[in-house]
Amino acid sequence: MERKSLLIVDDEENVRKALVRALRADGYEIRQAGSGKEALDLLAQDPADLVISDHMMPAMTGLELMRKVRQDWPDTLRIILTGYADLEMAISAINEGEIYRFLTKPWDQTELQIAVRLGFDRLLLERENRRLLATVKRQSDFIRALEAENPGISTVNRDSAGAVVIDDEELLRQFSTTLGRRVT
């Protein structure tokens, strides 16, 4: 993951600026939105890797925004930052918006920086995991097709100790048959 893009959403400009100051030294590509609608418009133009949003905003709450982000950009990591934390809202944020982290205002700068760094690490691992799973699926499909075309090709004979047993006569017979097929 070369580019690490971050969208900060808060209806208070001074809060957005403070968050940018707290995070810009880490080299993130940071964009800002003053409302949920503005955030959705920015994401539609260019999705972000991570969204940090205030919860209490006019017109659209942070939780409503995060539900929409989860629905339209499921690969985007989501962090709620709020000064009005209550247990019910936190549980809803985690369950309904699949929020990665829930932070309170005023935030601890070190905690915020670590949460964002760990979030990007998690995102990188999830993407790598998806890539590796796709590779394994392609390889599995290839082996299945190879086995269908050449039954027994993936079978390995082993002795009681687990060592691979090679039957030279059988191998020679198969090789001769294969050669015979190619010649004709």
pLDDT digits (tens, 9 = 90+) for 66-97: 999 999 999 999 999 887 766 676 676 666 65
Share of the chain above pLDDT 70, in %: 86
Q: What is the pLDDT of residue 19?
A: 95
Neighbours of 70 (CB within 10 A): 17
Q: What is the pLDDT of residue 48?
A: 96
Helices (H), the chain: 13-23, 36-45, 62-72, 87-96, 109-149, 168-183
| CATH architecture, range 1-184 | 3-Layer(aba) Sandwich (3.40)
> Which residues touch 143 (CB under 8 Å, ≥6 apart)?
154
Q: What is the pTM assigned to this prediction?
A: 0.74
What six digits make up the tokens of 1? 């993951």
Question: For residue 7, is pLDDT > 70?
Answer: yes
pLDDT in tens, 9-56: 999 999 999 999 999 989 999 999 999 999 999 999 999 999 999 988
pLDDT band at 184 (very low <50, low <70, confident <90, very high): very low
- One-letter identity of residue 146: L
Average pLDDT, the chain: 86
Distance between the two ends of the chain, CA-based, in angstroms?
A: 52
> Which residues touch 6 (CB under 8 Å, ≥6 apart)?
23, 28, 29, 30, 31, 48, 49, 50, 51, 52, 116
DSSP-derived letter for residue 27 is T
Q: What is the pLDDT of residue 20?
A: 95
pLDDT band at 183 (very low <50, low <70, confident <90, very high): very low
Mean pLDDT of 108-125: 93
